[in-house]
């Protein structure tokens, strides 16, 4: 990376991502821990407020307030023109749902995806929340999707490859009869929301970019009760399952270590 160019752009205009994998310094990791903690705290508040009768727009307001009162900014607001501070996707909506007037109903499966930027670094995390009383099949989908994320995190160690993560996620979810979304993937993250490498939720193992200590990536399995195929709604943001089946999504931003990866999007 060209140091002079970075310094120059930093003082004049927002930095521009020129591609490539970035290894974070300890100071940069500290900023990412702060960003990650703010995301985790915001998600904890959303879990408390996502009840039947609440709108997704209200959750967006609450998230924005929680992020800003901690000195950060909502990363997604205005990202490629995205209108919300968070993504809120319900039932067959997989990701990138736009918050608005939709009223949450008992039994809904709500996915919230939250990004926060502080000191120029970003945290990105998503959870699936059962609204009120959810069906047994929805509860099982949530459980398997969350566990598939942790299987992926367990595979994300120094020297492994992105394909090892995807393989672990896919094996876990597919062996339980679910469909994995392949058209959207996890990603490197740091100063920019989407950096290299891509982190697919499918194999094969042993392929893809090599993971190195202090690389930071977001792993984010999207798992459907039906098939993995997706469709884009006319708003050009909301991604839904092609077959209308329920979908779940979990995501953490992590830092690669020699051993177990460090989850950055957690309450410190
Ligand atoms: Mg996200
Ligand atoms: Mg992400």
Q: How far is the CA of 92 from the centre of ligand 1 (A)?
A: 17
DSSP string, 188-247: E-SSSSSEEEEE-SS--TT-SPBP-TTBEEEE--EEESS-S-EEE-TTSS-EEETT---E
Answer yes or no: is 6 within a domain: no
Answer yes or no: is 20 within a domain: no
Q: How far is the CA of 8 from the centre of ligand 2 (A)?
A: 28
Mean pLDDT over each residue of the chain, to the nearest integer:
95
Per-residue confidence (pLDDT) for residue 1, from 0 to 100: 33
Q: How far is the CA of 28 from the centre of ligand 2 (A)?
A: 19
Answer yes or no: is 5 within a domain: no
Q: How far is the CA of 4 from the centre of ligand 1 (A)?
A: 31
| Cα(136)–Cα(129) distance, integer angstroms | 14
CATH number where 41 lies: 3.90.230.10
Q: How far is the CA of 156 from the centre of ligand 1 (A)?
A: 18
Asked if 218 and 153 touch (Cβ cutoff 8 Å), the reply is no
Q: Quote the pTM value.
A: 0.94
Q: How far is the CA of 243 from the centre of ligand 1 (A)?
A: 23
Q: How far is the CA of 158 from the centre of ligand 2 (A)?
A: 21
Peptide bond into 190 cis (omega under 30): no
| Cα(57)–Cα(109) distance, integer angstroms | 16
Per-residue confidence (pLDDT) for residue 181, from 0 to 100: 98
Q: How far is the CA of 187 from the centre of ligand 2 (A)?
A: 6
Answer yes or no: is 162 within a domain: yes
pLDDT single digits (tens) 111-163: 999 999 999 999 999 999 999 999 999 999 999 999 999 999 999 999 999 99
Residues, CB-to-ion distance under 5 Å, ligand 1: 113, 124, 126, 251
Asked if 100 and 56 touch (Cβ cutoff 8 Å), the reply is yes
Instruction: State the average pLDDT over residues 73-94.
Output: 98
- Residue corresponding to tokens 């060209």: 2
Q: How far is the CA of 220 from the centre of ligand 2 (A)?
A: 6
Q: Per-residue pLDDT for 7 more than 90? A: no
Q: What is the number of the ligand closest to the CA of 189? A: 2
pLDDT single digits (tens) 28-81: 999 999 999 999 999 999 999 999 999 999 999 999 999 999 999 999 999 999
Q: Per-residue pLDDT for 222 more than 80? A: yes
Q: How far is the CA of 260 from the centre of ligand 2 (A)?
A: 20
135: its two tokens: 């069906």
Answer yes or no: is 81 within a domain: yes
Instruction: State the average pLDDT over residues 173-177.
Output: 97
Number of domains in the chain: 1
| Cα(137)–Cα(130) distance, integer angstroms | 11
Q: How far is the CA of 124 from the centre of ligand 1 (A)?
A: 5
| Cα(111)–Cα(130) distance, integer angstroms | 9
Per-residue confidence (pLDDT) for residue 12, from 0 to 100: 57
pLDDT single digits (tens) 248-268: 999 999 999 999 999 999 998
Per-residue confidence (pLDDT) for residue 8, from 0 to 100: 42
What domain range is 74 assigned to?
26-263
| Cα(62)–Cα(163) distance, integer angstroms | 37
Q: How far is the CA of 221 from the centre of ligand 1 (A)?
A: 10
Answer yes or no: is 147 within a domain: yes
Answer yes or no: is 3 within a domain: no
Q: How far is the CA of 128 from the centre of ligand 1 (A)?
A: 12
Burial of 73 (0-12, 13-18, 19+ CB in 10 A): middle
Per-residue confidence (pLDDT) for residue 27, from 0 to 100: 98
Q: How far is the CA of 126 from the centre of ligand 1 (A)?
A: 5
Answer yes or no: is 19 within a domain: no
Q: What is the number of the ligand closest to the CA of 218? A: 2
Per-residue confidence (pLDDT) for residue 14, from 0 to 100: 75
Q: How far is the CA of 114 from the centre of ligand 2 (A)?
A: 9
């Amino acid at each position: 990376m060209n140091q002079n160019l970075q310094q120059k752009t930093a003082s004049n205009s927002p930095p521009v991502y020129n591609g490539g994998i970035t290894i974070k310094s300890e100071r940069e990791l500290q900023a990412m821990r702060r960003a990650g903690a703010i995301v985790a705290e915001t998600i904890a508040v959303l879990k408390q407020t996502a009840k039947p009768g609440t709108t997704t727009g209200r959750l967006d307001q609450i998230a924005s307030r929680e992020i800003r009162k901690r000195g950060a900014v909502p990363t997604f607001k205005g990202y490629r023109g995205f209108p919300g501070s968070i993504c809120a996707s319900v039932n067959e909506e997989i990701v990138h749902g736009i918050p608005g007037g939709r009223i949450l109903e008992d039994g809904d499966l709500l996915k919230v995806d939250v990004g926060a930027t502080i000191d120029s670094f970003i945290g990105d995390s998503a959870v699936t929340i059962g609204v009120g009383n959810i069906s047994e099949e929805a509860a099982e989908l949530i459980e398997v999707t969350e566990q598939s994320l942790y299987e992926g995190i367990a595979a994300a160690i120094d020297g492994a490859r992105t394909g090892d993560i995807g393989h672990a996620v896919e094996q876990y979810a597919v062996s339980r009869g679910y469909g994995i979304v392949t058209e959207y993937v996890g990603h490197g993250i740091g100063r920019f929301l989407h950096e290299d490498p891509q982190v697919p939720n499918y194999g094969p193992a042993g392929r893809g970019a090599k993971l190195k200590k202090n690389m930071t990536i977001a792993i984010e399995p999207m798992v459907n009760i039906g098939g993995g195929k997706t469709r884009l709604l006319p708003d050009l943001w909301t991604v839904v399952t092609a077959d209308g089946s329920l979908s779940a999504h979990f995501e953490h931003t992590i830092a690669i270590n020699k051993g177990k990866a460090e989850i950055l999007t957690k309450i410190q």
